[in-house]
A and B are shown apart, each in its own frame.
Chain A
Amino acid sequence: MNSLRSWLARRLLLGLAQTVAVVLLVFALTEALPGDAAVALAGDDPDPRRIEQIRAAMDLDRPALERLADWTGGLLHGDFGTSLASGRPVADYLSAGFGPTLLLAALTVALLVPISVGLGVLAARREGGALDRLISSVTLGVYAVPEFAFGVLLVTVFALRLDWLPPTAVGYGTDLLAHPAVLVLPVLVLLSRPVCSISRLVRAGMIDALAAPYAAQARRYGVSGARVCYAHALPNAVAPAAQQLARTVDWLLCGVIVVEALFIIPGLGTVLIDAVAARDVPVVQGLAVIFGLLAVVLNLAADLVAHRFAPRTGVAA
């Protein structure tokens, strides 16, 4: 109990440090790097008036520490500042893009777990067979492929050649749930990498678990093969995969950005890419903080879940 508590305390402390680091890093990379940020932001259009305008809008004349304090103070109150490009509050941008992104992410995670566990168990039960080799090779191969290349090929085949699905989400508005056909390809692309990695982990864990002495003992007692597999081996095999889910969160955040750019879905990723292109720093900062904190929190949550599944791993770690 004691070790659990100290583990928990350490983990929460790390999460807190990461939260602070994300905020500091976002600020440092965008505003506090050496050189004049206003000149850099004006970019290809080094018009003195524009530079002056940016400097005034971002309060660049004040010391960096003061700006940092103001900005973090605002963040604590949910105030993300105002956009350089439009003058609208950054929070508006965030709430506008939130729905589609959440929908994509939720659908992906909901499908991810059953598909990857199913594939992993299937491969493990037929270990060494043709099906296992097929699943292993395909997951190993697809695992490394960037989403945009995979997605473009899917669009070419399923939207252009076969004309089964729409190629992009243009013209469907933000209510994507009303048009499920639009979501098929994006979710498929988002699933491609996480499914591969998690199913490979489940497979490896299942093979280890099925070969373990306790599985053999259960069989000797006459417990049926299916029960050994699903009731005894699977929970042990899933624990490593549960921790891998946290890693997947990072991919999903990256994947969402790419997939939204590819399928032109009006979510947070599109907002981010547009803001990067327009050098709209306050919007980029706000989104980066949101994405970064999401990654920290989900990592933390996944660790706690994994700890619940297999407490010994936490103790061992």
Chain B
Amino acid sequence: MNPTDPRTPAAPTLPRASTPPEPTPGAPRRRRPSPGRFALGLLVLAPPLLLALFGPLFAGDPGERGVSFTAGDGHWLGTDFVGRDVWRQVLLGGHSVVLVALSATLLSYVVALPIGLTAALTRRGWLEEVLMRPLDVLLAVPSLLLVLLVAAVYSPGTLGLVLLVALVNIPDAARMVRASAAEAASRPAVEALRMQGESWWRIAVGYVGRATRRTLVADAGVRLTGVLYLVATAAFLGVGVAPDAADWAVMVDRNRTGLFLQPWAVVVPALLIVGLSMGTNLLFDAALAPRADRRARTRPPTRRRLVRLIRPRAGAPDEARPVSAQRSTRPAEGEEKRR
């Protein structure tokens, strides 16, 4: 199992019931906890994140509107399409992207956790079907398309965008929760807890929830990257934001007309968005990979192992859904024997 596997939502590997997830004993261990990549991620992420979090504190007064698309003239980065100071807009513009992405990720888990846990822990097959099958079907719809579809009829504000992006992420998040919880729920310890007559709540939250914590944190990190992408892209296309909002993605869109006159109004916010998404991905990869790998051989299932074992194709609708619900988790060994 390779530590530098892509660990992004759309970079799964196949379930390989036929090959054990652990490498063969003779194979050389490839473990590269990369401090370099961690530092690189931090370096790339720090400027946009600091600007997004603390920028609004230093923004100051709007000042007078100048001429559109001028460079210099008392404005450090020039002026934008309506003559506002670009530096001030940059200071203000990261807030919304980061906040919307964080809250949408959080919200999608708030909904996905109970669904996934219930589906994994229930003894009633039909309940699991009812909970999970509609989500499988939803997975087929391209995420941006769903966002645009709603935007065509209603004008979602910031809150609407949060809800929409969270909604788009719920099916995949719920599948991830169910997959990791099903693994934990099949352990003898859960059986023992059940026989002791422990309450459902104590088993679900106290044991299964805790056992899957690490996997879910890793998955949330990966999901955050995807959500950042979707939020920024939606804002660029004008969904969920005012047309003159102080938002990096909106700045890129609106100031494109003056790209020849005043490239800074486009390049600076674009670079900040690139830094934000790139840094988040690099950082999560570096921060979670080595620890997750160390734990891979002990009990808590890591995200990657689960992806291999359970998830047919992460994030995508897929062929395995009909069976994976029952088969790929619990009687995985049985299937191996059958081969």
Cross-chain contact A153 with B140 (CB below 8 angstroms): no
- In the bound complex, residues from chain B placing their C-beta under 8 Å from that of A127 are 30
Cross-chain contact B16 with A313 (CB below 8 angstroms): yes
- In the bound complex, residues from chain B placing their C-beta under 8 Å from that of A108 are none
Q: Is the interface of A mostly helix, strand, loop or mixed?
A: helix
In the assembly, what is the distance between CA of A160 and CA of B18, in Å? 53
In the assembly, what is the distance between CA of A250 and CA of B230, in Å? 13
Is A136 part of the binding interface, using a Cβ–Cβ cutoff of 8 Å? yes
Cross-chain contact A200 with B11 (CB below 8 angstroms): yes
Given known A-B contacts A299-B316, A317-B15, A291 and B142 have beta carbons under 8 A apart: yes
Is B335 part of the binding interface, using a Cβ–Cβ cutoff of 8 Å? yes
In the assembly, what is the distance between CA of A148 and CA of B153, in Å? 24
Tell which of B37, B260, B267 touches A152, judged by Cβ atoms closer than 8 Å.
Answer: B267
Cross-chain contact B319 with A30 (CB below 8 angstroms): no
Cross-chain contact A254 with B30 (CB below 8 angstroms): no
Cross-chain contact A204 with B4 (CB below 8 angstroms): yes
How many residues of chain B have a CB within 8 Å of chain A?
Answer: 85
Cross-chain contact A156 with B10 (CB below 8 angstroms): no
Tell which of B6, B238, B274, B324 touches A149, judged by Cβ atoms closer than 8 Å.
Answer: B274
In the assembly, what is the distance between CA of A43 and CA of B154, in Å? 8
Is A230 part of the binding interface, using a Cβ–Cβ cutoff of 8 Å? no
Is A144 part of the binding interface, using a Cβ–Cβ cutoff of 8 Å? yes
Cross-chain contact A246 with B313 (CB below 8 angstroms): yes
- In the bound complex, residues from chain A placing their C-beta under 8 Å from that of B321 are 14
Tell which of A26, A153, A160, A243 touches B313, judged by Cβ atoms closer than 8 Å.
Answer: A243
Chain A 120-162 near chain B by CB (<8 Å), digits 1 or 0:
0000000110000000110011111111111011011000100
> From residue 185 to 234 of chain A, which have CB atoms closer than 8 A to chain B?
197, 200-201, 204-205, 207-208, 211-213
- In the bound complex, residues from chain A placing their C-beta under 8 Å from that of B273 are 145-146, 149
Tell me, rounded to whole Å, the shortest Cβ–Cβ distance linking A214 to chain B.
11
- In the bound complex, residues from chain A placing their C-beta under 8 Å from that of B191 are none
Cross-chain contact A307 with B319 (CB below 8 angstroms): yes
Cross-chain contact A247 with B313 (CB below 8 angstroms): yes
In the assembly, what is the distance between CA of A140 and CA of B12, in Å? 14
Closest to B253 in A: A148
Cross-chain contact A284 with B149 (CB below 8 angstroms): yes
Q: Name 9 A/B residue pairs within 8 A (Cβ), A-sorted.
A: A21-B138, A30-B153, A33-B154, A41-B153, A156-B266, A200-B11, A211-B28, A276-B151, A310-B14
